[in-house]
Amino acid sequence: MAFIATIDRDGREIEIGVARFTPGSKDGWFEFAVVVADGWHGQGIGTRLLQQLFAIARGAGANGIEGSVLKENHRMLELVKSLGFSVSPDKEDPAIACVVKAF
C-alpha cells in the first residue's frame, strides 16, 4: 500500500511525498517508509501521509507497524515519537534507530 502526495505545477503533477507499507518481520506487523521532498519538509505532509497509512494498516488487521530511521534524522524521530512510536537502537547498526508502534 502506498499514498503519494502531489502538487500541480504548470499543468504537471509533481510528487512531493510518499508513504508505504509492506508485510513486516513478524506476523500481523507491517514495515513502513516515508519520504518527503526537501522543499516540503516541516509542512505536515509526512504526518498526513503516515496517518492515512496507519489507518489503512489498522483496517487491514495489523497488530502494529515498524521502521528504521537514521539517528541523524532528528525531525523524523520527533515525528514518529509524536505519533506514539517507541524508539530503540538497532542492534546491528549504531547509525539506525528502530521505531515501533503497536495498534
pTM given for the model: 0.86
- Checking if the pLDDT of 102 tops 90, the result is yes
pLDDT tens column, 30-81: 999 999 999 999 999 999 999 999 999 999 889 999 999 999 999 999 999 9
- C-alpha cell of 68? 528504521
Q: Given pLDDT bands bounded at 50, 70 and 90, which one contains residue 88? A: very high
CATH number for the region 2-102 comes to 3.40.630.30
pLDDT at 40: 95
Distance of alpha carbon 61 from alpha carbon 84, whole angstroms? 18
pLDDT at 24: 85
